[in-house]
Amino acid sequence: KGPAESIRFPDRTSHIGKLINDYLLSTKETENTSDQTIHLLFSANRWEAAKDIETKLNNGVTLVCDRYAYSGVAFSSAKNVPGMDLDWCRTCDRGLPSPDCIIYLDMPVENAAQRGDFGNERYEKIDFQKQVREKFMALKKGDEDASLVPWHTIDAQQSIENISEQINNIVDNVMEAVKEKPIRKLFTD
Ligand code: FDM
Ligand code: MG
């Protein structure tokens, strides 16, 4: 099937990524960072990787990415800041290499909150996470209505084995469907 690599956003190792990490940890230096500013930094963190992503895809590498632009749109729009509507949030990511599919690992927010060290970072609050989930559902519906990027929702409360089997099936189909296709650009039709 060829080589595959996993990547993730935010990539906290870059210079911009360190600023994002500080923001998520609510450091003193970031207490005045506006919602617009951090939104654009998350996007810039993807743009600084865009060339690399395209090169890898063009060399036949399959990329599995833990969060991407849709997280940017869902989290920032969930803040309900006047002017930061879905369209505003999408604009700065327009033209990035598009994912070939989105796999949304879904579970009730209350259960997610029991996992790991939930609560340490800025967005790890139950009410906010519920709003974010609503935004993801709306984005998914919008993509389905417009036949854009195909989404798959997986019940993330199942065993790791079940989840990975389902993801494998989805990915096999998507890889077959896109293998000769050019890389699409995100949020352009
Ligand atoms: N997040 C992630 C955003 O708000 N915008 C983005 O563009 C991205 C990629 O950052 F709460 C949020 C989602 C999450 C936080 O992400 C850190 P990880 O996956 O937990 O590191
Ligand atoms: Mg996290």
pLDDT of residue 1: 78
User: Taking the mean position of all CA atoms in its chain, how far away is CA 158?
Assistant: 21
Strands (E) located in the chain: 4-8, 62-66, 102-106, 151-155
Q: Does this model's pTM top 0.75?
A: yes
pLDDT of residue 189: 72
Instruction: State if residue 75 touches ligand 1 by the CB under 6 angstroms criterion.
Output: yes
Which residues of the chain carry a pLDDT beneath 70?
none
As a whole number of angstroms, the distance between CA 6 and CA 76 comes to 24
Q: What residue's CA is closest to ligand 1, atom 10?
A: 10
Tens-digit pLDDT profile for residues 3-31: 999 999 999 999 999 999 999 999 999 99
Q: How far is the CA of 182 from the centre of ligand 2 (A)?
A: 32
Q: What angle do CA 172, 175, 177 make, to 5 degrees?
A: 110
Q: Pull the structure tokens for residue 130.
A: 């519920």
pLDDT of residue 75: 98
Residues 6+ apart with CB under 8 A from 43: 69, 72, 92, 93
